[in-house]
Amino acid sequence: MIPIDDSPIVRDGKSLILAMDHGLEHGPVDFEAVPEKLDPSTVFETATHDAVTSIAVQKGIAEGYYPSYEDDVNLLVKLNGTSNMWMGEPDSAINCSVDYAAEIGADAVGFTVYSGSNHEVEMYEEFRRVQEKAREYDLPVVMWSYPRGQGLKNDTKPSTISYATRIALEIGADIAKVKYPGSADAMEHACKAAGDMKVVMSGGSKTSDYDFCSTVESAVTAGASGLAVGRNVWQRENPTQILDALEEVIYEEATADAALEATE
Ligand code: FBP
């Protein structure tokens, strides 16, 4: 972990990462209810909102669309990723090098690690290479820290999420992105396990405005430094409205009720 508060992907110590790598991870099915969002520029447009500190995309999307938005959004290049068609033990192909991410303008890099998978050892070694190379460019490293694999029945269990944040701290991430462990107490323990490293909550599938904002409120109150979210923003009819509310919850530490009331 290195200090990243001066990085463009951090605002007042917090971070809101807008993720849009779902076309690879899940397939176009995630865009079925919002077919216009299949056009990546619509999500880049959303990422120009002040609440968003970076957009997380795969290399191909970065190459094609970031040049038109480089003055208005910060780029987080996701370096690995796998399709939903992969049926083996959780693993993730490296699709982009740190050198190339830096060349195309990345402000940060992202890497998934599936601790607990039969591929854990190789993934840790890959992460080591990525993390050390990222240091040469002074690029923050965000770890999608997702314990997953045949040995793990419940990947959001409190002890599993605390382990996920601790692993991220110990092997050199600057931000750990983890799933919400189900309660504020469990999130607090996961944040404590991460020491001074930032922890952001992973968005998950779309829920109601209130349910989503109140989970984010509970994560932030428990010590999380923000959010990495995809579907709960861009699958909505009005992404700006939810981002207005999330801005209040994350940066102003407003309650979900107050934030939604102020922004409806
Ligand atoms: P969501 O907020 O839509 O869950 O996006 C966050 C994210 O980590 C994406 O970066 C990624 O594509 C997806 O979730 C992976 O989700 P999972 O592996 O849980 O299906």
List, for residues 128-162, the tens digit of each pLDDT value.
999 999 999 999 999 999 999 988 889 999 999 99
Question: Would 247 be classed as within a structural domain?
Answer: no
Give the DSSP H or E segment for 248: helix 239-251
Q: Which amino acid is it at 65?
A: Y
Question: Would 260 be classed as within a structural domain?
Answer: no
Distances (CA, A) of 233 to 19, 31, 91, 122, 243: 9, 12, 27, 33, 7
13-48 pLDDT, tens digit per residue, is 999 999 999 999 999 999 999 999 999 999 999 999
Question: Would 249 be classed as within a structural domain?
Answer: no
Distance of alpha carbon 211 from alpha carbon 180, whole angstroms: 13
Distance of alpha carbon 176 from alpha carbon 1, whole angstroms: 10
**In the annotation, is 59 catalytic?**
no
The number of the ligand 1 atom at minimal distance from the alpha carbon of 229 is 2
Annotated catalytic residue within 65, 66, 114, 146 = 146
Question: Would 9 be classed as within a structural domain?
Answer: no
Annotated catalytic residue within 177, 179, 180, 198 = 177
Q: What angle do CA 9, 15, 20 make, to 5 degrees?
A: 80
Question: Would 231 be classed as within a structural domain?
Answer: yes
Distance of alpha carbon 158 from alpha carbon 140, whole angstroms: 26
Q: Number of folded domains in the chain?
A: 1
The number of the ligand 1 atom at minimal distance from the alpha carbon of 179 is 19
Q: For residue 150, what pLDDT is reported?
A: 87
- Give the domain range for residue 131: 15-238
63: domain CATH number is: 3.20.20.70
